């Protein structure tokens, strides 16, 4: 039994070490625009049945079942939490927050192939060609592409809650000219999306295919210009998780030490 106890405690330490990595990553991204926290899910391992010699049931028949003892824990996976973060004003015309459900669509490269990725981060900029791109390390272009005239000042750009992008006429005239339409996507199971870094997610079989549409239609949220959605990481919650994880790790370490001491005592008694 001592060996089983050591094995169970060892699996606990390994699982909690993974949870510690997840909590640390959440805390590290506390100021990352549009970041969604993850949580660690666990499942118990299979059980072994211990039968005592000569054990009998109430009818004086051999007992069919003995004592079930679990053999530890396993990390079954991590789960994304897509609850909304706070919407914070930035007063930048190309910063856009999503008020409600949905994702921006951007074109990026993943595993060497061009693909459509999804993000809640709305910190957009203009690239050298005037295209609206995500302000990440690779400048992913919004899909469908929106080109802003080179002579248009940023202050003249208007993005409505319905996703229509307009600029004032050259020279500061009163009229606005529509130059593009932001489209969004949503998923039946957004928690099934796969994170690929850079605030981007790609679809999986678990998430299902994207349901695309215009903001404020078909269950999609509206857009808020001049604002960004912050991370949904709650510092107090993560710190509590961190403390519990550390304590659990220490307790499993102590369980291994106790099991080891018990095995030594048994070994000495057999001599």
Domain range holding 151?
A: 87-228
On the question of pLDDT at 51 being above 90, the answer is no
Which pLDDT does position 62 carry in this prediction? 55
- φ and ψ at residue 217, rounded to 5 degrees: -125, 150
Letter string b/e over residues 140-175, b meaning 16 or more CB atoms within 10 A of that residue's CB? bbbbeebebeeebeeebbebbeebbbbbbeeeeeee
Residues 107 and 224 reside in one and the same domain: yes
On the question of pLDDT at 60 being above 70, the answer is no
Residues 132 and 190 reside in one and the same domain: yes
Query: Average pLDDT of 45-62?
Result: 62
Domain tally, the chain:
2
Residues 203 and 97 reside in one and the same domain: yes
Task: Give residue for tokens 């304590």.
Answer: 247
The DSSP letter of residue 108 is E
How many C-beta neighbours within 10 Å does residue 59 have?
5
Residues 185 and 226: beta-carbon distance below 8 Å: no
Residues 135 and 212 reside in one and the same domain: yes
Q: What is the pLDDT of residues 184-240, one digit of tens each?
A: 999 999 999 999 999 999 999 999 999 999 999 999 999 999 999 999 999 999 999
Query: Average pLDDT of 167-173?
Result: 69
Residues 105 and 183: beta-carbon distance below 8 Å: yes
The DSSP letter of residue 247 is H
Residues 212 and 181: beta-carbon distance below 8 Å: no
Assessment of whether the complete model's pTM goes beyond 0.75:
yes
On the question of pLDDT at 68 being above 80, the answer is no
On the question of pLDDT at 58 being above 60, the answer is no
Which pLDDT does position 71 carry in this prediction? 82
Residues 119 and 189 reside in one and the same domain: yes
d(CA 25, CA 36): 11
d(CA 271, CA 265): 10
Residues 72 and 110 reside in one and the same domain: no
User: Could you tell me which residues are beta bridge partners of residue 78?
Assistant: 40
Residues 103 and 210 reside in one and the same domain: yes
Q: What is the pLDDT of residues 129-146, one digit of tens each?
A: 999 999 987 889 999 999
| Residue 257 pLDDT level (bands cut at 50, 70, 90) | confident
| Residue 176 pLDDT level (bands cut at 50, 70, 90) | confident
Residues 215 and 102: beta-carbon distance below 8 Å: yes
Query: Average pLDDT of 36-49?
Result: 86
Task: Give the range among 9-18, 96-105, 145-154, 172-181 with minimum mean pLDDT.
Answer: 172-181
Residues 151 and 263 reside in one and the same domain: no
d(CA 105, CA 123): 13
Which pLDDT does position 69 carry in this prediction? 77
Residues 196 and 99 reside in one and the same domain: yes
Query: Average pLDDT of 45-50?
Result: 73
Task: Give residue for tokens 């000042």.
Answer: 153
The H-assigned helical ranges of 170-215 are none
Q: Which residue from 223, 187, 249, 189 is spatially nearest to 16, judged by alpha carbons?
A: 249
Residues 135 and 168 reside in one and the same domain: yes
CA of residue 142 relative to chain centroid, distance: 21
Token output for 43:
């499942």
Residues 57 and 186 reside in one and the same domain: no
Query: Average pLDDT of 92-121?
Result: 95
Contacts of 27 (CB under 8 A, 6+ apart): 233, 235, 238, 239, 242
Residues 188 and 123 reside in one and the same domain: yes
d(CA 95, CA 227): 6
Cis peptide before 181 (omega within 30 of 0): no
């Amino acid at each position: 039994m001592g060996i089983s106890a050591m094995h169970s405690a060892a699996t606990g330490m390994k699982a909690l070490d993974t949870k510690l990595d997840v909590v640390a990553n959440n805390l590290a991204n506390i100021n990352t625009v549009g970041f969604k926290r993850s949580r660690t899910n666990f499942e118990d391992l299979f059980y072994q049945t211990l039968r005592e010699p000569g054990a009998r049931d109430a009818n004086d028949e051999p007992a069919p079942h003995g004592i079930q003892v679990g053999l530890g824990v396993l990390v079954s996976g991590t789960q994304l939490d897509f609850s909304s973060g706070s919407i914070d004003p930035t007063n930048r015309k190309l910063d856009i927050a999503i008020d409600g459900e949905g994702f921006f669509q951007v074109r990026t490269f993943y595993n060497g192939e061009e693909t459509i990725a999804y993000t809640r981060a709305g910190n957009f900029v203009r690239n050298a060609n005037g295209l609206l791109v995500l302000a990440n390390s690779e400048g992913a272009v919004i899909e469908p592409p929106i080109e802003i005239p080179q002579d248009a000042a940023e202050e003249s750009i208007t993005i409505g809650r319905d996703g229509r992008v307009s600029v004032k006429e050259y020279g500061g005239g009163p009229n606005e000219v529509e130059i593009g339409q932001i489209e969004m996507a949503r998923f039946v199971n957004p928690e099934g999306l796969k994170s690929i870094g850079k605030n981007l997610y790609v679809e999986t079989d678990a998430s299902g295919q994207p349901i695309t549409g215009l903001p404020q239609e078909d269950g999609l949220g509206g857009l808020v210009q001049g604002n960004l959605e912050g991370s949904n990481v709650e510092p107090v919650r993560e710190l509590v998780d961190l403390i519990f994880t550390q304590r659990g790790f220490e307790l499993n370490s102590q369980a291994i030490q106790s099991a080891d001491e018990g095995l030594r005592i048994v070994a000495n008694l057999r001599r």
